[in-house]
Amino acid sequence: MDTTMWKPENMTITASPGETVMLHCDIKGQDPEQSLVHWYKYHEGIGKIRLFEGIMRLIKEHRYNMNPRNYTLTIEDVRAIDSGLFTCEFLEHNTSSKLIHRLNVTPTVEESSTFLIVAAVCLIILLVLAILLAVFYFRKRKTQYAPTNSTEMAFPKK
């Protein structure tokens, strides 16, 4: 038997980059000694990746940790790539219960502002360089075609 639970208070978690997030696995079984908890993350285009099986870590990412007493998944220094669905699956005998969390990591206003400032500065630098190149080009061109005296300029030779 497979049971999937959505708890409104845990369903969606929004975090900013750099924060620490805790995803709880509030599933209780009849026989904890014979039960096994798995944590999965669903990656768009890749599918389901198992993060933990019991207390055994199955990924190299050390920002992800699981508390073996209550199966809470902690993600330190969250990043935008951490956004997605996380599933805590509790396996006991022939039954499976799942608790699904959605994590949304959104950039802060400061990060967005910083990006805009950097982009504006780069644009200004490019414009200044373009103006300097244009001035250099036209000055060089003007010196190449400059007449040697004022008579040549006013009355071209025939």
Q: Is the pLDDT of residue 128 over 80?
A: yes
Q: What is the pLDDT of residue 17?
A: 92
Tokens of 54: 């019991």
Q: Is the pLDDT of residue 26 over 60?
A: yes
CA distance 64 to 109: 26
The pLDDT, as a whole number, for residue 103 is 93
pLDDT of res. 15:
92
**Confidence (pLDDT) at 22:** 93
Residue 11 has pLDDT above 70, yes or no: yes
Structure confidence by residue, pLDDT tens digits, 76-85 = 999 988 999 9
73: tokens are: 């998944």
**Mean pLDDT over all residues of the chain?**
79
Rounded to an integer, the average pLDDT of 47-69 is 85
Instruction: Band the pLDDT of 139: cuts 50, 70, 90.
Output: confident
102 Cβ contact list (under 8 Å, min separation 6):
11, 12, 13, 84, 85, 86
Whether the per-residue pLDDT at 107 is higher than 60: the answer is yes
Residue type for position 56: M
This prediction has a pTM of: 0.61
Residue 3 to residue 29: CA distance in whole angstroms: 12
